[in-house]
Amino acid sequence: MKLVEKTRISAAALALLSLSALSTGFLEATPAFAKDTQQRPAVLNASAVAVADKYAADAAEQIFKEGGNAVDAAVAIAFSLAVTYPEAGNIGGGGFMTLYVNGKPYFLDYRERAPLAATRTMYQDDKGNVIPGKAMVSLDVRHERDFVRRTAVKQLLENARAIAERRWLGVQHQDQLEQPAVPMDERLTSFVTDAIEAAGLPLKHMTSGAGHDAMVLAARVPTTMLFLRSPGGLSHHPDETVREEDVEAALGVGRYFLERVAAEIR
Q: What is the DSSP string of 104-127?
A: EEEEEE------TT--TTTTB-TT
Q: Is 174 left (phi over 0), alpha (psi -120 to 50) or beta?
A: beta
Query: Residue 13: pLDDT above 50?
Result: no
Is there a contact between 175 and 10 (Cβ–Cβ < 8 Å)? no
Query: Residues 125, 159: one domain?
Result: yes
Sequence letter at residue 97: M
Note down the domain range covering 100.
27-112
DSSP 184: P
Query: Of the ranges 13-22, 107-116, 257-266, which is most confident?
Result: 257-266
Structural domain ending residue among the three candidates 83, 112, 141: 112
- Asked if residue 199 and residue 151 are part of one domain, the reply reads yes
| The pLDDT of residue 5 | 44
Domain boundary (54, 77, 112) is at: 112
Q: Are residues 18 and 108 in the same domain?
A: no
Task: Based on the fold, state whether residues 42 and 163 are members of the same structural domain.
Answer: no
| Last-in-domain residue among 80, 112, 144 | 112
Which pLDDT does position 31 carry in this prediction? 44
Choice between 22 and 164, residue whose per-residue pLDDT is larger: 164
What's the whole-model pTM score? Answer: 0.51
Residues 12 and 35 both lie in one domain: no
Asked whether residue 144 falls in the same domain as residue 77, the answer is no
Domain count, the chain: 2
Helix (H) and strand (E) counts in the chain: 6, 10
**Does pLDDT of 10 surpass 50?**
no
Which 3 state secondary structure label does DSSP give 121?
coil
- Please provide the average confidence, as pLDDT, over all residues in the chain: 77
Q: Which of 66, 63, 87 is nearest to 77 (CA)?
A: 63
pLDDT tens column, 163-206 = 888 888 888 888 887 888 888 999 999 999 999 999 999 998 88
pLDDT of residue 234: 80
Weakest-pLDDT range from 114-123, 226-235, 243-252? 114-123
Q: 159 with 236, same domain?
A: yes
Q: Indicate if 129 and 201 belong to the same structural domain.
A: yes
Average pLDDT over residues 63-92: 82
* 46-63 pLDDT per residue, tens: 778 888 888 889 999 999
E runs forming strands in 86-139: 96-101, 104-109
DSSP state of 207: -
Q: Is the domain of 217 the same as that of 166?
A: yes
Same domain, 81 and 150: no
Q: Are residues 188 and 259 in the same domain?
A: yes
Verify that 228 and 154 share a domain, yes or no. yes
pLDDT of 191: 94
